[in-house]
Amino acid sequence: MATILDDLFSLEGRTALVTGGAGAIGRVLARGLASAGARVAVHDFDEARLAEIRALFEADGREVVTLTGDLTDAAACKTVVDRAAEALGGLDILVNSQGTNRRKRIEAVTADDFDAIVDVNLRSVYFVAQAAHPHFKARGGGKIVNISSLSAKHAFNTISVYAATKAAVSQLTRAQAREWVGDNIQVNAVEPGFVKTEFTRPLWDDPYRDGWFRGFIPAGRLASPDELVGAVILLASRGSSYITGQSIVIDGGVLSGATWEAPAAP
């Protein structure tokens, strides 16, 4: 017997594409969408990482479509989206979770650094969503969840280009939501704070920095990737039918106003 929770949050019968879906966060989100009932396609640039995803889904007893492609190329964005929609029989949900960074102080950033980060973090998000739009219209609506970052709102050293792209993604989310509201497409963003992944290992693996995190984050720890799943399922489901153009910050309380205590120097 169906319950109100099933009606609001079940993704049974829905199809989803997760770009950057073999990364530490993307793979958790992809499995979370599948656990809620969605049929999932996972994109990544690395075939070896996609093989890991196939093994994880197989262990879960679920099927997955895997796709490779260079999303810094607008034509490739369309190809990946079209292939996902064809394999899944349509497209209802898009999660843009691709991302990259090169940690440098502003004075050390090169034009190549700038272009590499912008192309992955912003250009691909723009053109993947553009390619998904006609598929959503064909289904009578859709959901886009853009993975942004706390750095869209809070400045940190050595990530100036990354922060600028994530702020742009959060603003792009609002622009997409406004333009596509008439097509019944809800577009929202998730802005995670510090998440414990291999991507952030250079930060949390250092004892001094780990102590800094525990002093700076009110929750006293970094997030685990699975703590992002609930928000993404909400934004991908019927439960968010009147939520659009919003950014949900998942930061352990940082923006609430941290009382910071510096750790002892090493």
Which residues participate in catalysis according to the annotation?
Answer: 162
The tokens describing 17, both together, are 């594409």
Tell me the residue length of the chain.
266
Alpha-carbon gap, residue 230 to 232, rounded angstroms: 5
Q: Are strands 93-96 and 142-147 parallel, antiparallel or unpaired?
A: parallel
The tokens describing 112, both together, are 């190549």
Residue at token pair 């792009």: 172
Q: At 135, is the secondary structure helix, strand, or coil?
A: helix
Q: Label residues 94-133 b or e (16+ Cβ within 10 Å = b).
A: bbbbbbbbbbeeeeebeeebeebbbbbbbbbbbbbbebbb
Alpha-carbon gap, residue 254 to 260, rounded angstroms: 10
Q: Which residues contact 31 (CB under 8 A, 6 or more apart)?
A: 56, 57, 60
Residue 44, classified by CB atoms within 10 Å of its CB into exposed (0-12), middle (13-18) or buried (19+), is: buried
Sign of the alpha-carbon dihedral angle for 41, 101, 25, 121: negative
Q: Which residues contact 47 (CB under 8 A, 6 or more apart)?
A: 68
